[in-house]
Amino acid sequence: MGDDAGRLWWQEGVIYQIYPRSFADSNGDGVGDLRGITGRLDYLRDLGVDAIWLSPINPSPMFDFGYDVSDYLGIAPEFGTLDDFRVLLAEAHARGIRIVLDLVMNHSSHLHPWFVESSSSRTSDKRDWYIWHDGRNGGPPNNWQASFGGGAWEWDEASRQFYLHSFLREQPDLNWRNPRVKQAAEDIVAWWLDVGVDGFRLDVINWFLKDEQLRDNPTKLLGRRPYDRQKHVYDRNRPETVDLVRWLRATVDRWPERMLVGEVYNEPPGNPELSASYYADGAGLHLAFDFSLLFSGWSADDFGRAIDAWEDVLSPACWPTYTLGNHDQRRVLSRYASDANRAARGRVAAALVLTLRGTPFLYYGEEIGMLDVKVPRSRLQDPLGKSYWPLPVGRDPARTPMQWSAEANAGFSPAEPWLPVHPDFAEINVERAEADPASLLRWYRELIRLRRDEPVLRRGSYRRLPQGTGVLGYVREHEGERVAVLLNFESRPRPAVLPTGASWRVLAASARRPRDRVAGGTIEVEADGVLIAKAGAPQARTLGSEGRARSAVGR
Ligand code: NOJ
Ligand code: CA
């Protein structure tokens, strides 16, 4: 199902992340679930996305809301059953939508039977499935810190050793140097691929391997927490992880057209070189996240630098990804916009991720302009939010219920939802956005449709077009077709330059749509504005004539 050049859905498509607890609640318990998602597939089809990535749906005691798995082959009862999942998969595939699962295997839950067995005694058969060690000088084995705060080693009084946890103490790190752990992972991956899932998002892939000698991390001067005052060269980012990723890739490649996207997490400003290394020149991850774009300031220079750096470090065998939001970050419009410019900036942000060379990942609700919710202390759920309160570190604000309508609880659930709904839901909701031709949702749909209709937007090369202050410009080129994108990051009109020697047909423009065509040369881009234009002869275009037919996934 690839194009002539062999490009596949994960390069051609748009991927939409769903946080299952918060998308749609089908049984009125206030928690989103799989049947809820199935019930909203038509919405996703109409939006035009090609795949959804589900944050974890496995059974979990939910210390980290599913990122602490206690059974890799099951479905959390609050989300439904395996049958519900099979229905979701079949219904999604029937609409041409793939499903990517979150695979959280740097660590398991401390309640996973593997860890229960592993911690039962020093001689347990599964002892070396996790990372156990004696202390040093009466303290933990080394100076490693947990990324969620506190030391990374937990003392187990019963077996009188420490175990490693890079995140919560309820998330013991698996020992990926143990071939039996690899075998168990392979079995899990194979099992889900046989069920028919289209790929996996690998949680914190750059954490999987730790230094064999457990050396102390070097320290550095600046940083808010002890964790931030270390250089993470021994507790993560080990170069040998790339070999592990090659092996995972070879495993997944036994099934056709499946995809691995890895979260290569690095603190702001991101680390494109590190993320790029996980592609192993086409033999590693199909896709990797680098969060440089997400961590950029709202300026043409910052975004331009992040994009160019990512383009520069990726060899031709590697395909970029772009995202401006996920379940760990503040929502895009809460980070970048104010009441005055939100509507316009939402369009600029959408145009950015949807017209770059690479696979766009959207985060649920961003297409209607959902904002962070101020969650009162009494309703905090995220362990980070609770332990760092009142610092705004928690991730609950960006995980609140999808706003479907102006009905009670935003149409998410008849019951009080697990996290509060944003008070703006009567204005910001899907129903209203669908009815409003000028809504952000319509703009997302228009741009996604444009990507479908214009192969140059999906496949074209990327070249920066130098511009004056405030404007980011680039050209996408493919088989003689050329599209220019101009994005004004300032809240005042800015001059910009379109290449001369061509007449440009406007494909999409925010707010006012002044003309159908513009000549090359200097033009003005309106405040917080977008202009997407295609070079070419002045004949009329039949919409959709070049478009890809959307067909069901044949599995
Ligand atoms: C990264 C995930 O995105 C985050 O939500 C989670 O808390 C940590 N990994 C630990 O699994
Ligand atoms: Ca439910």
- pLDDT bucket at 551, cuts 50 / 70 / 90: confident
Q: Is the CB of 63 under 6 A from ligand 1?
A: no
> Is a pLDDT exceeding 80 seen at residue 56?
yes
- pLDDT bucket at 542, cuts 50 / 70 / 90: very low
Q: Is the CB of 67 under 6 A from ligand 1?
A: yes
pLDDT value of residue 538? 45
Average pLDDT across the chain, whole number? 95
Q: Is the CB of 203 under 6 A from ligand 1?
A: yes
| Residue 315 CB neighbours (<10 A) | 9
Please state which of the ranges 196-200, 298-302, 396-400, 509-513 shows the lowest mean pLDDT: 509-513
The residues near 148 (Cβ < 8 Å, ≥ 6 apart) are 167, 168, 383, 384, 387
CA-nearest residue, atom 11 of ligand 1: 67
- Cβ atoms 163, 155 nearer than 8 A: no
Share of the chain above pLDDT 90, in %: 93
> Is a pLDDT exceeding 90 seen at residue 59?
yes
Per-residue model confidence as pLDDT tens digits over 251-300: 999 999 999 999 999 999 999 999 999 999 999 999 999 999 999 999 99
> Is a pLDDT exceeding 80 seen at residue 525?
yes
User: 12, 64, 78, 263: which is the annotated catalytic residue?
Assistant: 263
Region 37-62: what's the mean pLDDT? 98
> Is a pLDDT exceeding 90 seen at residue 445?
yes
- Cβ atoms 550, 98 nearer than 8 A: no
Q: Rounded to whole angstroms, how far apart are CA atoms 383 and 165?
A: 15
Q: Active-site residue 477, yes or no?
A: no
Burial 65-76 (b: 16+ CB within 10 A, else e): bbbbbbebeebb
Helix (H) or strand (E) holding 354: helix 342-355
pLDDT value of residue 512? 66
| Residue 517 CB neighbours (<10 A) | 10
The ligand 1 atom at the shortest distance from the C-alpha of residue 327 is 5
pLDDT value of residue 417? 98
Q: Rounded to whole angstroms, how far apart are CA atoms 52 and 36?
A: 14
DSSP codes of every residue in 229-281: GB--SSSS--TTHHHHHHHHHHHHTTSTT-EEEEE----TT--HHHHHHTTGG
- pLDDT bucket at 513, cuts 50 / 70 / 90: low
Helices (H), 389-454: 430-435, 440-453
Q: Active-site residue 263, yes or no?
A: yes
Q: Is the CB of 167 under 6 A from ligand 1?
A: yes
Instruction: Quote the ligand 2 centre to 104 CA distance (angstroms).
Output: 22
Share of the chain above pLDDT 70, in %: 96
- pLDDT bucket at 1, cuts 50 / 70 / 90: very low
Instruction: Quote the ligand 2 centre to 195 CA distance (angstroms).
Output: 23
Instruction: Quote the ligand 2 centre to 147 CA distance (angstroms).
Output: 31
447 vs 512 pLDDT, higher one: 447
> Is a pLDDT exceeding 50 seen at residue 409?
yes
Q: Is the CB of 289 under 6 A from ligand 1?
A: no
What's the burial of 117, exposed, middle or buried (CB within 10 Å: 0-12/13-18/19+)?
middle
Out of 60, 167, 266, 381, give the residue to mutate to test ligand 1, the one with the largest number of ligand atoms within 8 Å of its CB.
167
Instruction: Quote the ligand 2 centre to 30 CA distance (angstroms).
Output: 6
Q: Rounded to whole angstroms, how far apart are CA atoms 56 and 369?
A: 24
Nearest ligand to the C-alpha atom of residue 37:
2
